[in-house]
Structure 1
């Protein structure tokens, strides 16, 4: 066999290899995302959970408190709060960006029409004057379309769509996080307002008891049974107790004004709450579920995982620039020198232009962008781990604070019960003439101070309960999220956060 025949035999094989290589390359470049890195979350809470099994959902935890006014405030805030509406607008933006990325699969088509009046030079390269029937002055009528389509051989568009979809899901999780925060802030402000109301009532009763004591000491001073120092001491205690009333009033008004803003309304909207009262909520241990459930419920953890997925897709977008691009251009339409002949078959024109382009040398810019994308993915993986650990720490602190708060409430309740019994004994002894009025008033003052301390402790524990619900991710239902975010969270955790280059088509 001659050398020329060998070359003829090798030519089809070379073409087949080239075609096969091209077809094998027709896949998504870059790593396939397989889930977030595995984070050691421990084996259960540091404090034993003695409550009943966890409820099915904490999506509307505020309804467990049994306060219709709180239910109304939270519902209004979740509908009208401006931060939440901004989050919804960001979701709309990310959805539009995802749709724009999806549009990369389709060709670009444009249509146009023009009328061109021109005069050609008789002394130019085309001898107009010597060509019969070719006028120097011409009017050209043209109508047609142009289309261009870049075939996604190496998955640049596919990875761009994956990244845009992940960013949309991250925006949805951010909105869920805003919802959690808004519900918790409304509840915190409302419980602070109600607690301040009860604290104000207890403080006013204490001031009234001190006023009676001061008046009685004054009477004894005028009768010569008490010294001026006794009068001054009683007056000082009265003034000190009364001086705390304006501060409580200020807290009350600030809480009411803050609720108005949280509800997306003028600050004064909920000032009418100052003229109403409510029964204190009952504080009991709540079920917190398994520690692993926290990562499923916390929107910030879910958002961090989605951002990691987006960064992984960005690597594929950058990697696709290493490979050739195949695009097809087409144009067609009608062109004529006479408007009446524009749409005749003889005036038709068309062209089809396939084009392969390959960036052969760029000074290493593409590979540098790939390395930068990989570094950004690593940052996102570390941010995810940090978010997980911060969520666990947040939940552990909130659980500890609430349990210790319950213990403080129980102890303060014991002190209040003892003060009430002591005051009842003092009333009986006073009625029997065994003690003076000053002793009775002293016992009443102790009772009012115990009531004041119980109110403050109860309010603090109620706010700790709100913080616990927030730390557990309560305030939204993952199963009821936007349809675009469904299906996430089903990948298996692994480390590292991505696999090596994929050859999946």
Structure 2
């Protein structure tokens, strides 16, 4: 087949080149991300009666404890905590990096103007003296622009934007994790403070009972009814009980100081809490939903999945280096030796330069970088699997600790009720003259010890409750995010995290 004219032959070739460029531009090098590997989450919780739907108040679980002071502390911490503010700054950084990467799709254009005064050599390669009308001294006036655009033929920029977007989402999930940790730490510190106060009150009552016993033994010793050994033994018990008071006071003060720092304030801000008291928290079984729900609520799992998506995109960025790059450069403007003629039509200048570059040989560095990116993706996939299993382990452990903690509180409460009944009987017998005062004080010491044990056990169970809420991902609204679009709830048998495709489309 022959063409009747060059113009008629050239038109199909131009169309074919344009069509090929569009097709290439629609492809992206490297694998497409198809979601995280599927992880076997087992067949339900190992603890009984935990599969009921999780409470709707999980995002603000601390409000269910019925303590306005705790609600105030958590709200202040979530507004002013420095760790959370740092996490928010990291989100702003990642968003800016994403926007900078997305800017690679657009051409860069720069404008400038200059005035250059120069003197050329008569002995140089240009024979200035032999060219009539060409002065040796010149003033060049120049104004114009320069533009450059690298066409994203093989999707390197597109993959880079995908990775930057995934890293931004991971930073957002990290901030959610910080929020959860802050709420839990504030509650833990506050409950530790209140528990120490109740333990201190019980211990002080026990010390008071021991002091009465020691005083009574001293009176009997002076009356000749007790030996010195009895006095020493009573005083030893009193001193031992009194020695434990400073440690409890120190724990309460340390918790109050820690609250101040958590609230982004000087540590002494909440010391006034030491002079107030709060009602005890009612402990009850907490429904937790299905095991797979953990993967949607836990920000660390979501962040691990986003980092896997970013690493998959990085493979495409590295793979695109195997193929040619097409750049288009253009410049234009005005140039004249006389400033009055700078913007005349005769002073116009323009240039257009398409450029194709291709790393034909580089000693295997590109392919080595591709292999390194694939290895980093594999590490991210394993990190995701570990995050899933760690989340399930945290939840299982927290469930067990809280269930056993509630049982311990029940048993300790039974012991406390028995001690109170026994002390009431002793009081009645003492009033009837059937027992001595030392016997009554001994029963009171048993009661105070039971109160002390109950306070410590209740505090431990309350802190276990905080750990359970944290393990469940409570403290932020997972439904407000984009978990459904990320596909990170997919669990079951293992599967690849990405789908391979030819590097060029």
Q: TM-score, normalised by structure 1?
A: 0.94
Deviation (angstroms), 1:446: 0.7
* CA shift for structure 1 position 28: 0.8
CA gap 1:484/1:450 in 2 versus in 1, 3 angstroms: closer
After superposition, what is the alpha-carbon deviation per residue over 1:122-163, rounded to whole angstroms, capped at 9, x for unaligned? Answer: 343333333332222211100000000001010000000000
RMSD: 3.1
User: In 2, are the aligned partners of 1:412 and 1:457 still within 8 Å (CA)?
Assistant: yes
Verify: 1:387 aligned to 2:392, yes or no. Answer: no
- Take 1:443 and 1:372, find their aligned partners in 2: how far apart are those partners? 72
Q: How many angstroms does 1:15 deviate by? A: 10
Higher mean alpha-carbon deviation, 159-168 vs 422-431, is at 422-431
Distance 1:486 1:275, change over 3 A: farther
- CA distance 1:115–1:14, change in 2 (3 Å): closer
Counterparts in 2 of 1:404 and 1:491: CA distance versus 1, 3 Å: closer
Is the alpha carbon distance of 1:116 and 1:3 closer, same or farther for their aligned partners in structure 2, counting shifts above 3 Å?
closer
Q: Deviations over 1:63-118 (max 9, x none)?
A: 11010000011111111111111111111111111011000001011111111112
Shift of 1:435: 1.6
Aligned to 1:151: 151
Contact 1:34-1:491 at 8 Å conserved across structures:
no
Identify if the C-alpha distance between structure 1 residues 492 and 173 changes in structure 2 by more than 3 Å, giving closer, same or farther.
farther
Q: CA separation of 1:310/1:265 partners in 2, compared to 1, >3 Å: closer, same or farther? A: same
The number of aligned residues is: 505
Q: Structure 1 259/417 Cα, relative in aligned 2: closer, same or farther at 3 Å?
A: same
- Is this contact kept in 1: 2:21–2:153, CA < 8 A? no
Structure 2 residue runs of 5 or longer lacking an equivalent are none
Residues 504, 69 of structure 1: alpha-carbon distance in 2 compared, 3 angstrom cutoff: farther
| TM-score normalised according to structure 2 size | 0.94
Unpaired segments of 5 or more residues in structure 1? none
1:164, distance to aligned residue in structure 2 (A): 0.5
The answer (yes or no) to whether the contact 2:101–2:161 under 8 Å persists in 1 is yes
Alignment partner of 1:301 is 2:294: no
| 1:49 Cα deviation from its structure 2 partner | 2.1
Query: Which segment drifts farther, 207-216 or 50-59?
Result: 50-59
Residues 309, 57 of structure 1: alpha-carbon distance in 2 compared, 3 angstrom cutoff = farther
Alpha-carbon contact 2:38-2:491 (below 8 Å) kept: no
Contact 2:295 2:488 in 1 (8 A): no
Question: SS at the partner of 1:3?
Answer: coil
- Decide whether the 8 Å contact of 1:102 with 1:161 is kept in 2: yes
Give yes or no for contact 1:51–1:286 (8 Å, CA) kept in 2: no
The alignment partner of 1:60 has SS state of helix
Give the whole-Å Cα distance in 1 for the aligned partners of 2:90 and 2:277: 39
Number of the residue aligned with 1:468: 468
Is the 1:422–1:443 Cα contact (8 Å) retained in structure 2? yes
Q: Secondary structure at the match of 1:421?
A: helix
Say which is worse superposed, 417-426 or 486-495, in terms of deviation. 486-495
Secondary structure at the counterpart of residue 286 of structure 1: coil
CA deviations on 1:308-343 (whole Å, 9 max, x unpaired) are 000000000000000111111010110001001111
**Would you say the 8 A contact 1:35–1:494 is kept in 2?**
no
1:496 deviation in Å?
1.1
For residue 119 of structure 1, report the CA deviation from its aligned partner. 1.9
Residues 29/145 of structure 1: CA separation in 2 closer, same or farther (3 Å cut) = same
Confirm or deny: 8 A CA contact 2:184 2:467 kept in the other structure.
yes
Q: State the distance in 1 between where 2:406 and 2:492 align.
A: 38
In the other structure, the counterpart of 2:47 is 47
3-state SS in 1 of match to 2:5:
helix
Residue 265 of structure 1 deviates from its aligned partner by: 0.8
Q: 1:217, CA displacement in angstroms?
A: 1.1
CA contact (8 A) 1:36 1:493 kept: no
Which piece of structure 1 moves more, 57-66 or 446-455? 57-66
Give the direction of change, closer, same or farther, for the CA distance of 1:452–1:323 in structure 2 (3 Å limit). same
